[in-house]
Amino acid sequence: MSNQGQQESLPVQLSLFDIESPGLGHKQRRNKLDKRSITPESDLQTARFWFKVHLESSGHPKNTVYAYTNDLAVLIDTIGNKTLRQINEKDIGAYLSSAHKKSTRKRRLTSLREFYAYLIHNLRLQIDDPTTPFYPERVNLKTPVPLFPEEQKRLLATARNLGDKYFLMVYLMLKLGLTRTELLALKKQHVDVSDPSEPIIYINYGDPRWRHKDRVLKADKEFSETYIQYRDTIESDTLFPIIPQSVNAILHRIAKIAEIDKQVTPQLLRDTFGVEQAKSGKTEEELLAILGLADDPRNRDSVRRYIRLANPVGEVGDISSDSK
């Protein structure tokens, strides 16, 4: 497919996480209602309710919706049911400090930032963001144990024997580095096989805040042939209409049949992809881009681990040792 042809097709690419539909009138009415209902004088409990509606209608996983809204419930228990305008940095500090574990404080801050991004950017409320002075505490990352080349071959071969769907799922995570969420959000419109020798997969979040996650990934002819066969057998526009937990269960089953002792998860496949890309000579910046990671210290640490694992002996560029 020519570059011109690719450019012409881009405007009609659907957002990977856009679930709006002309037929969902009740969702449209509900979204209009929350914008009229929430003001700077609204209390936290009201805002929490509409934030939950927003998360659900935006297609967030149930466990994410629960985590975010539960964290806000704890905030209300900690500082009281204040209005949005009343909440200040001291309140946020007290809330974060009440968590004893570093990982809990980090998660709470993430929940709050998503909440305030919704209020300020989605609803355009004229309020200050009291989370601005706070930064996530460093939580040490575990060094991944990627699949060895022989294990990768066995996993793909076993998946192929089980069926096209399973091969495609493993391929997209292992060979292209998709996250589980990205895998489950893929639709037929996101896969371009007009040139079967160079298929293209579009990862498009459709949100300026997540622009760094948008990617255009190239697969190979083996993927095209399998994908075309699979695509023509499913009625759903979504390629893998299953729940997130099913992805993990499927990988566990495939790994067991392939006699792989490691705990094979979506994250392990993505880690393996990262290491293989580092072996091919990708730089830190290139790894961040191809994995759709924001350029921050934690993600820098992640890709540096991939580079270390790809180069087990000798010195690697300007990579410093991990701080403890």
pLDDT digits (tens, 9 = 90+) for 3-19: 444 433 333 344 444 33
Question: 174: closest CA among 153, 203, 202?
Answer: 153
pLDDT of 101 higher than 70 = yes
Q: What is the pLDDT of residue 36?
A: 57
pLDDT of 135 higher than 80 = no
Burial 39-71 (b: 16+ CB within 10 A, else e): beebebebbbbbbbebbebbebeeeebebbbeb
pLDDT of 73 higher than 80 = yes
pLDDT of 56 higher than 50 = yes
Please, what are the domains in the chain? 25-122 (1.10.150), 149-310 (1.10.443.10)
Residues 102, 289: Cα–Cα separation, whole Å: 28
Q: What is the pLDDT of residue 27?
A: 47
Secondary structure of residue 190 in the 3-state scheme: helix
Neighbours of 80 (CB within 10 A): 12
Predicted TM-score (pTM) of this structure: 0.60
Among 66-70, 199-203, 273-277, 315-319, where is mean pLDDT lowest?
A: 315-319
Q: What is the mean pLDDT of residues 114-138?
A: 85
Q: What is the pLDDT of residue 298?
A: 78
Identify the burial level of 170 via C-beta atoms within 10 angstroms of its C-beta, where 0-12 means exposed, 13-18 middle and 19 or more buried.
buried
Q: What is the pLDDT of residue 210?
A: 79
Q: What is the pLDDT of residue 138?
A: 54
Dihedral over Cα of 259, 261, 267, 272: its sign: negative
